[in-house]
Structure 1
């Protein structure tokens, strides 16, 4: 089952990146987080630009006391919209680091290197300064700030895409059905997804695996049942069947990496990639597994009882 997914829509997100005098780096963005791995992914984006380790970066998301503006987490847009805002802010900070260090060492910027929280003159180890010290120098206690400059090693940036970045992929599975009980067992599940530049492969796999688990629940197990008066009959997990590790198989994943031309980082969204095609794929697999019977599945969710009714023509 192949699919395309519109991701990373606007209107915008913003971010502030700041090197502190302690040498730690602060990253603040308005986008919220609910377990997508934003803290790690956003820190990796900044680490790549500023040359510090991820454990030296503090990320704050969705706190209006720290950053006022933002639209929210939806439509697989965190890495695309907030990620690019963070990346662009970090680029500005990187330029400030090189400019100030060039003045400090009286050396051209192209002869400097930034690594492990220090900026140094190439091949001259003794000419080195930590980013924390440099941040202190960027906030002078005496003298005026020069025209066209500002104190501190910090920057705020916004990114608003004109249109979303389109991700794509394909899901396939091998499904076994007991023709007498209509109980199922997924023997194998495979996902190949292209979300542009991959920031963190482990987090990406986790998002896809979680999406597939949700899709399996939506396709075959989960169903809200009401009586004729509109009263919900399965309002507890005693009655509402969620898939567990017994129902969700080991998921094999592969990744394409076709960069998006619609944003500087070339990223596309992945948050919904696991869930989108599972329902129709399930229907196709059930029809194929029971190919001796002439029937067509036109609804989800479905369960063993409903599958038996459809196959029996009831």
Structure 2
């Protein structure tokens, strides 16, 4: 891999794991089929066992398959011929894998996506601005996103919530301040503001799942889904809230109370 940029971890690594798991499953089915004298296509895997379809009593555990596929057991016929000792319900052919087949259930696979995947969504915010204190109160924040098939919905929600929290930091607090000589004035967290949990509004999430046709798992990125739109959404909402007062367009974030005060002052001067 070349690091986790652009929400590629699940798309690249996740699909590599998927491809490897499919290959490992095929090896397990082949080994179990040899042990049970059955066709690999008739082998089902469920609850830690491999068994012949329609006859669940005729099967072996995955532990037994792994044991009999072990390189040491594979190498010695004497050990391989004792399959029934480890799997009394199985009828063994002597070896779990055909002659010439690499022993073990270990597989290595690679995955390179043919194209980038793009998630999409919509963010909306309802805000109130106090023209006296210049405070901004986010009354409601809604995020609708589509990251394809969700592998783990709880992790997806955490990523979106964390992204919105980071976006709130950019919308309200996080700004690099330089003096007239170009020296950074807030180079530590003593002076650089970040939002606390108390500054993050409740986030209403709506999950849509449109599988991507570009990879086997049908997944898209989700890491940036919460972060990227927040500053623009908040700036647009504040601009709309202040528009009856004749304030100029909001051109930048973060929107501190001082920034709101400057907008209101420009409106009064222009009047």
Q: Are residue 164 (structure 1) and residue 95 (structure 2) matched?
A: no
Once superposed, which parts of structure 1, at least 4 consecutive aligned residues long, lie more than 4 Å away?
143-148
Corresponding residue number in structure 1 for 2:249: 296
Question: Root-mean-square deviation (CA), in Å?
Answer: 1.8
Cα distance, 1:106 vs structure 2: 1.3
Instruction: Give the secondary-structure state (helix, strand or coil) at the position aligned to 1:260.
Output: coil
Corresponding residue number in structure 2 for 1:33: none
User: 1 or 2, which has the higher strand percentage?
Assistant: 1
> 1:237 and 1:176 mapped to 2: Cα distance?
28
> 2:20 and 2:107 mapped to 1: Cα distance?
5
Correspondences of 1:59-138 after superposition (within 5 Å):
70-138=1-69
Identify which of 100, 108, 130 aligns with 1:178: 130
**Residues 144-189 of structure 1: CA deviation (Å, up to 9, x unaligned):** 9746621111211111112201110000111111111111111111
Corresponding residue number in structure 2 for 1:272: 224
**Residues 116-151 of structure 1: CA deviation (Å, up to 9, x unaligned):** 221123443432322122112123131597466211
Bigger shift: 159-168 or 138-147? Answer: 138-147
8 Å contact kept, 1:190–1:253? yes
Corresponding residue number in structure 2 for 1:310: 263
> 2:98 and 2:227 mapped to 1: Cα distance?
53
Q: Are residue 221 (structure 1) and residue 173 (structure 2) matched?
A: yes
**Residues 260-290 of structure 1: CA deviation (Å, up to 9, x unaligned):** 1111111100001100101111110001111
Corresponding residue number in structure 1 for 2:104: 152
What are structure 2's unaligned runs of at least 5 residues? 78-94
Structure showing greater Rg:
2
How many residues align structurally?
245
Corresponding residue number in structure 1 for 2:75: 141
User: When the two structures are superposed, what TM-score results if normalisation uses the length of structure 2?
Assistant: 0.85
Cα distance, 1:210 vs structure 2: 0.2
User: 1 or 2, which has the higher helix percentage?
Assistant: 2
What are structure 1's unaligned runs of at least 5 residues? 1-69
Corresponding residue number in structure 2 for 1:231: 183
Cα distance, 1:102 vs structure 2: 1.1
User: When the two structures are superposed, what TM-score results if normalisation uses the length of structure 1?
Assistant: 0.74
Cα distance, 1:308–1:148 mapped onto 2, change above 3 Å:
farther
